Amino acid sequence: MKSNSFTGSAYYEIKIQGHLDQLWSQWFDGMTLTHLENGETGTACTVISGLVIDQPALYGLLTKIRDLNLSLISVSRLNPD
């Protein structure tokens, strides 16, 4: 069985429900916060994106989201261009 191990850093995009103020960027390790809104449903979300240095750092970001009781929509590892 092939292992999909996480080695080194990678860019991630984490989408959560609702709007998170830009002031939270520092708390999320300097990640970029972008607000999106679905015009059809009026549903607002925030995309937290940026470089994650390793697997423990990713788990740390997800723990912060859980600790704030935010609703997680998706987590995507982005391919380098």
**CATH number of the domain to which 29 belongs:** 3.30.70.260
Residue 21 lies in a domain: yes
pLDDT tens sequence across 4-28: 556 689 999 999 999 999 999 999 9
Q: What pLDDT, on the 0 to 100 scale, is given for residue 1? A: 46
3 within a domain of the structure (yes/no): no
Domain that holds residue 32: 10-76
In one-letter notation, the amino acid at residue 67 is: D
Cα separation, 11 vs 8, in Å, equals 11
How many domains would you assign to the chain? 1
For residue range 27-57, what is the model confidence (pLDDT) as tens digits? 999 999 999 987 667 789 999 999 999 999 9
- Residue 31 maps to a domain: yes
- 4 inside domain: no
